[in-house]
Amino acid sequence: MWKRDEAVKPTGSQPAAPAAPAAPIQSASAPAAPQPESRRNERDVVNIGKSVVIKGELNGSEDLTVEGQVEGKIELKDHVLTIGPNGKIKAQVFAKAVIVLGEVHGNVTASEKVDIRDGGSVDGDIVSPRVAIAEGAHFRGSVDMQRKGQASAAAQAPAGKPAQAASQPSQPVAQPAAQQVAQPAAR
């Protein structure tokens, strides 16, 4: 602290001197803060190189890019799986989003989206609310795009219809007797 005081005194102006060192310290720390964040983002993406072969289950809590080969099962429930142009997957895949630039042989289940890009290939069934297949991509299998929200809405809709049907006189012949009983009880 004695060195800082000595450095401030020769400048002659105490308010200007602390402001000048404070500004560079803040600007130096401001760029330093985004760098660790970008490093964290880079660390949150794991790469499996071209020469790597994995047989078995692959689970993770980070985004994953596969350039090598994986056989078995891949589970990244809350993260993105990218199969690079050199990636070859023979596995059941479960992820938040799947981007295919290479080859996938097996069923793909994504909670958000499956994107098969130009040059990508999928041989298997896809279950995802959103599916994109680019021109030049290969896909062989079935697609199920039913959302979880739609399934619960469909389950709730029949419960709502009888209440509406009770107030409407035009119903099939089998229901009017039940409606007549239900209507006086409701009044």
What are the residue ranges spanned by the domains of the chain?
A: 44-144
Query: What's the CA gap between 104 and 52, in Å, rounded?
Result: 16
pLDDT tens profile 139-180: 999 999 977 655 444 444 444 444 444 444 444 444 444 444
pLDDT tens profile 75-90: 999 999 999 999 999 9
- Comparing CA positions, the residue from 151, 88, 142, 79 lying closest to residue 113 is 79
3-class DSSP state of 105: strand
H helices of the chain, where?
A: 2-11, 16-32, 34-43, 148-167, 176-186
Compute φ and ψ for 29, nearest 5 degrees: -75, -30
Give the per-residue pLDDT at 162.
Answer: 43
Query: What's the CA gap between 14 and 4, in Å, rounded?
Result: 11
Q: What percent of the chain has pLDDT over 90?
A: 53
pLDDT tens profile 106-130: 999 999 999 999 999 999 999 999 9
Q: What's the chain's average pLDDT?
A: 73
Query: What's the CA gap between 169 and 177, in Å, rounded?
Result: 11
The overall pTM is greater than 0.85 = no
